[in-house]
Each structure stands twice: as C-alpha cells, then as structure tokens.
Amino acid sequence: MRQTLHAAIIAALIAGPATAQIEEAPGEEEGLGLMQRGAELFFDGLLGEMEPAIEDFRGFAEMAEPHLRALLSEMGPALMGVLDRIDDIANYEAPEILDNGDIILRRKREAPEFTPDPDAPEFDI
C-alpha cells in the first residue's frame, strides 16, 4: 500500500510539470488570438490619435452642410451641365476666381484638343 502511495505521488509530481508545459506552449489558435489582440490594440491606438481630427471634421461638416445643400439646389443643374462638357478634370488648371467673382476653368496647354461629346445635352448658363 505504501509503495502504491509513493508511486501515485511520484506520478502526480511528474505529470504536473508535463501538463504545465503543454498548457503554456502557445498553439496555433492562441497565436492567432494574440495577433488579433495586437491588431485591435494597434487600431484602438490609431483611432485614439485620429479622434480629435474626426471631431474637427464632424464640426466642419455640420457647419458646411446647409451651404453645400444650397449650392447643390441652386447651382446643381448648371454644374452638372458643365461636368458633362469636361472630358477629364486632369486636363484643367485649378479654378481661378476673378475680382468680379467670375470663376474660370482654364484648359491646360498640354491637354489634348477638346472634342465635345455629340450626345451631351445643350444648355445655356
């Protein structure tokens, strides 16, 4: 009986560290979990850094919304007509605002010659 007790104690002492090693070794699933957690921490930190800029943009958007809605409702059809006549926006310089308020879109000198789309609707501005 005494030998059986000693054998059981020795077996328990040997088995304990062996199972601990098995449990401590990171498996494939645990490795993926650690990578996922690392990615979550990275994106949480990134979001924390960007949050003030996002809030500033939200304030700007709230301030600009009524003006943009008015611009679209009043000038939307005319702007769509202009966009129908522009072949590629990269062929134009940045808009120039004259002292009298006129806005000029100049075509770049190196741009290919403009050929109007025959299917584009005609309109008067």
Give the pair of three-digit tokens for residue 111: 């741009």
Q: From first to last of its 125 residues, what are the pLDDT tens digits of the chain?
A: 555 555 556 656 666 555 555 555 556 666 668 888 888 998 888 888 888 888 888 888 888 898 888 888 888 888 887 777 788 889 999 999 999 999 898 999 998 888 777 776 665 55
Domain-by-domain residue ranges, the chain? Answer: 2-74
